[in-house]
Structure 1
Amino acid sequence: MTDTRQPVTSRPWGTSPDGQPITLYTLRNRNGLQADIMDYGGVVVRLLTPDREGNPGDIVLGHDRAEPYFSLETSPYFGALIGRYGNRIAGGQFTLDGKTYQLPLNNGPNSLHGGERGFNQRLWTGRPSTGEDGPALELTYLSPDGEEGYPGNLSVRVTYTLTEDNTLQIDYEATADAPTILNLTNHSYWNLSGDAGRDVLGHELTVRADHITPIDETLIPTGELLPVEGTPFDFRHPTAVGARVDGQGEQLRFAGGYDHNFVLRGEEGLKAAATLHDPLSGRRVEVFTTQPGMQFYSGNFLDGSIVGKGGQRYGHRWAVCLETQHFPDSPNQATFPSTRLQPGERFTSRTVYAFTAR
Structure 2
Amino acid sequence: MKSLAFIGTLAFSWLALVQGKVPPPDSDGKYTIQAPGIKASFIPYSAAVTNLFVPDRNGTQRDIVLGYDTAVEYAEDKIHPNYGAIPGRYANRIANATYELDGVRYYTERNNQPNSTMHSGTNGWSYRVWNVTNVCHDSITFSLRDEPFSSKGMPGLVLGRVTYTLKPNTWIISIEGEAKTHRTPLMLTNHAYWQLDAFANPFNDTVLNHTFSMPFSKRQLAYDSVAEVNGTILEIPKYGINDFWSSPKQVGANASAAGWIGNCGPGFGGYDCAVTIDHDHLDPKKPQVYSEPVASLRSEWSGIQWDMYSNQAGFAFTSCGFFPKDVLPIKKTQGGPDSANDGFVPTYGCLAVEPQDWTSGIDHPQWGRLPYQIYGPGDGVYRNEIVYKFSAS
TM-score by length of 2: 0.82
Q: Which has the larger strand fraction?
A: 1
* CA–CA distance in structure 2, aligned partners of residues 205 and 69 of structure 1: 28
* Separation in 2, partners of 1:357, 1:92: 43
Q: Deviations over 1:55-76 (max 9, x none)?
A: 1010001110123212453541
**1:251 & 1:202 partners in 2: Cα distance?**
18
Match of 1:193 in 2: 197
Map of 2:258 onto structure 1? 248
CA contact (8 A) 1:220 1:328 kept: no
Q: Which residue pairs with 2:364 in the alignment?
A: 333
Is 2:295 aligned against 1:295? no
Q: Assess if the C-alpha contact under 8 Å between 1:158 and 1:170 holds in 2.
A: yes
After TM superposition, give the deviation of residue 54 of structure 1 in Å: 1.0
| 2:387 counterpart (345, 352, 358) | 352
Question: What CA distance in whole angstroms lies between the structure 2 residues aligned with 1:343 and 1:286?
Answer: 35
CA deviations over 1:143-180 (Å, ceiling 9, x no partner): 000111200000011111011x3111111111112100
The CA distance in 2 between the partners of 1:81 and 1:262, in whole Å, is 20
Structure 1 position 246, deviation (Å)? 5.1
User: What CA distance in whole angstroms lies between the structure 2 residues aligned with 1:286 and 1:140?
Assistant: 27
* TM-aligned CA deviation for residue 254 of structure 1: 2.3
Q: Alignment partner of 2:362: what SS?
A: helix
2:230 is equivalent to residue 234 of structure 1: no
8 Å contact kept, 2:6–2:129? no
Q: Is the 8 A contact 1:74 1:307 kept in 2?
A: no
Q: Deviations over 1:317-343 (max 9, x none)?
A: 110001101122111101332211121
Relative distance call for 1:195 and 1:39 in structure 2 (3 A) is: farther
- For residues 46 and 93 of structure 2, the distance between their equivalents in structure 1, rounded to whole angstroms, comes to 19
* 1:308 Cα offset (Å): 2.7
**Residue 314 (structure 1) shift:** 0.3
Judged with a 3 Å threshold, the aligned counterparts in structure 2 of structure 1 residues 32 and 127 are, in CA distance, closer, same or farther, namely: farther
The worse-fitting range, judged by mean Cα deviation, of 71-80 and 298-307 is 71-80
For the residues of structure 1 that align with 2:365 and 2:348, how far apart are their CA atoms? 34
Q: Report the Cα offset of residue 194 of structure 1.
A: 2.5
Percentage of matched positions with identical amino acids? 29
Between the two proteins, the alignment pairs up a number of residues equal to 340
| 2:296 partner amino acid | T
- Indicate how the Cα distance of structure 1 residues 158 and 15 shifts in structure 2: closer, same or farther if over 3 A, else same: farther
In structure 1, distance between residues paired with 2:60 and 2:196: 12
**Alpha-carbon spacing, 1:144–1:263, altered in 2? closer, same or farther (3 Å):** same
**Partner amino acid, structure 1, of 2:249:** T
Aligned residue in 2 for 1:111: 117
- Whole-angstrom distance in 2 between the partners of 1:91 and 1:34: 41
**Structure with higher helix content:** 2
For 1:39-58, what aligned pairs fall within 5 Å after superposition?
39-58=44-63
Aligned to 1:342: 376
- How far has the Cα of 1:248 moved from its partner? 2.4
| Residue number in structure 1 paired with 2:40 | 35
Distance 2:223 2:329 in 1: 31
Distance 2:148 2:80 in 1: 27
Q: CA deviation at 1:348?
A: 1.4
> Displacement of 1:286 after TM fit?
0.7
Counterparts in 2 of 1:202-281, with a 5 A limit? 202-208=209-215, 209-230=217-238, 231-236=240-245, 237-245=247-255, 247-249=257-259, 251-252=263-264, 254=266, 256=268, 257-266=270-279, 267-268=282-283, 269-271=288-290, 272-281=293-302
1:73-84 maps to which residues of 2 (within 5 A)?
73-84=78-89
**Structure 1 unpaired stretches of 5+:** 1-13
Using the size of structure 1 for normalisation, the TM-score is 0.90
Instruction: Identify if the C-alpha distance between structure 1 residues 16 and 195 changes in structure 2 by more than 3 Å, giving closer, same or farther.
Output: farther
How far 1:255 moved relative to its partner?
A: 6.0
Report what 1:8 is aligned to: none
Paired residue for 1:148? 151
Task: Tell me if structure 1 keeps the 8 A contact 2:45–2:75.
Answer: no
Question: How large is the Cα RMSD of the aligned pairs?
Answer: 1.8
Pick closer, same or farther for the CA change 1:213–1:72 going to 2, 3 Å. Answer: farther
What residue is the counterpart of 1:6 in the other structure? none
Contact 1:192 1:277 in 2 (8 A): yes
Residue 18 of structure 1, CA deviation: 6.7
Give the aligned partner of residue 317 of structure 1.
348
SS of the equivalent of 1:265 reads coil
* Candidates 170, 175, 188, aligned match of 1:172: 175
Q: Write the letter of the residue equivalent to 1:304.
A: D
Deviations 1:123-150 (A, max 9, x none): 11113344xxx71111100100011120
Distance 1:166 1:128, change over 3 A: farther
In 2, distance between residues paired with 1:95 and 1:67? 37
